[in-house]
Amino acid sequence: MKQASVLNPDLTMSEIRMPEGLLLLDGKLSGASPSARRIDVLNPATGEFITTIPACTAADVDHAVMAAHRCFESQAWQSMRPLDRGRLLERLALLIEEHAEELAQLESLDSGKLLSVTRMIDIPFAIEALRYFAGWSSKISGEYIALSPLVQDGASYRAYTERKPMGVVGGITPWNFPLGQAIQKLAPAIACGCTVVLKPSEETSLTTLRLGELILEAGFPAGAVNIVTGYGHDAGAALVEHPLVRKISFTGSTATGQRIWAAAAPTMKRVTLELGGKSPTIILADADLTRAVPGAAAAIFSNSGQICTAGSRLLIEAAVYEEVIAGVADIARTLKLGAGADPQAQIGPLISARQRDRVAGLVRSSLDEGAVALAGGDMIGEAGWFYQPTVLTEVSREMPVMREEVFGPVVCALRIEEPSQLVDLANDTPYGLAASIWTRDLERAHLLADRIDAGTVWLNTHNVLDLAVPFGGRKLSGVGREFGSEAIQAYTEPKAVCMRLDRGAMVGY
């Protein structure tokens, strides 16, 4: 079938409330320093200019960090009841809920995401994350420890631990889920008693800037949350290297995560790094193909493949290989590409011309080396940064498209001839973020899941996240975990308190 054409690529949304483009610094909306340049914000569906945002300097970042540090050290913040920190998050959740449609439209315009997706996933996730961690704020506890001291001096000893907030947290977020990722960093940090400096991706900063306006309206103390925009090599690097920042939480590419970890070492900052992936979608011969085939397609084509857990390697047992790849390719050919606001669109553009060209280059090199495009395989449209949903077969394990994170709507299919190959092929990647297994045999599914080297393994589903379930990767997919109780551990550190009690004080009792 012929690839569906781009529908209304110049379609834009009217009456979107744009943020003022001001930074949130020390409880005020402020402009960047006079020396800061401006970054053009472009519509991924058309390439057209939307607005500009500040490219913050190290001075701007220092202003933000100092404000966060003053707030953290203040008596007012230190004595704020945990329940009241939770109320701040709940007030912010109510404001996002009130402005949900506005934020959904702004997110779609800025990132190219389908409006249906921002309405159903991005904005509800942000609201639920705020409420989930608001609940945690009053439930952070330590433990009592029974001691066995080496010195027997007749005294009694007591020890307990507390979970203490890290301090100033630097949150650096990616462009694929801008508002959700900002909340994902902000909410647990505030719940734990930290203060925050957020640096969104320069590609998608608009909803985070609007978030800053809502944070002011919610009544957060000055400096509790600060927002700076700009490039990673300027604003991001200044945030990572700042001596008063005690923790960095970063979501993005593995290469950038490695640089952040190295830069954090001199000051021994704590880091949470949620990085790249090359996740396998494993379809066994006994799988329910009426669920597995559309599930495999959704695993890679959702959000135009711009998801860290995208199922970009499709491993299929030989008995159903032809049926599966034919089914996934049929879906790929019929997906309608279009701007986020186009109600008929099923897949949007990539974030930038650079990203589209990178995806195109990886696919082109694989085709030159003998791969076959069963569907897609090329850019599409004269306006915007669209790439066809692509299914590649006849790929080898050594091809860059099989080794590197493509971050686009491209899946590589491999035939599994022998069951003994399965675990080896699934783990044959430097990444270890996620995987899915599709089978009716749940005993085999659980035994296989135990051997897959990934932070999350889904059974008969893919890309299902829940705020109560820890999320993160192994190997080059990152360090640490987000969500659930693991997030509380990530933004606090244990402090031990030990006291000697003189038994003589009890004489006469």
Catalytic residue set: 274, 308
**Contact (CB, 8 A) for 349 and 409:** no
Task: Give whole-number Cα distances, 369 to 286, 329, 362, 390, 398, in Å.
Answer: 32, 21, 11, 16, 10
First and final CA of the chain: distance in angstroms? 91
- Which pair of tokens denotes residue 255? 């290469």
Q: What whole-number distance in Å separates Cα of residue 153 and Cα of residue 165?
A: 35
343 φ, ψ to 5°? -65, -20
**Contact (CB, 8 A) for 207 and 21:** no
249 φ, ψ to 5°? -115, 115
The three-point CA angle 276-270-256 to 5° equals 30
Q: What whole-number distance in Å separates Cα of residue 177 and Cα of residue 156?
A: 53
- Which pair of tokens denotes residue 272? 């949470």
- Which pair of tokens denotes residue 424? 């080896």
Task: Give whole-number Cα distances, 156 to 42, 143, 508, in Å.
Answer: 67, 18, 17
Q: Is 441 exposed, middle or buried (0-12, 13-18, 19+ CB in 10 A)?
A: middle
Count CB atoms within 10 A of the CB of residue 38.
12
Q: What whole-number distance in Å separates Cα of residue 183 and Cα of residue 193?
A: 15
Query: Pairing mode, if any, of strands 49-55 and 37-42?
Result: antiparallel
Q: What whole-number distance in Å separates Cα of residue 295 and Cα of residue 328?
A: 9
Q: What whole-number distance in Å separates Cα of residue 181 and Cα of residue 366?
A: 32
Which pairs with CB-CB distance under 8 Å and at least 24 residues apart come from 252-260? 252/172, 252/173, 252/174, 252/201, 253/405, 254/405, 254/431, 254/476, 254/477, 254/478, 256/232, 257/478, 257/479, 260/172, 260/236
Q: Which residues contact 75 (CB under 8 A, 6 or more apart)?
A: none
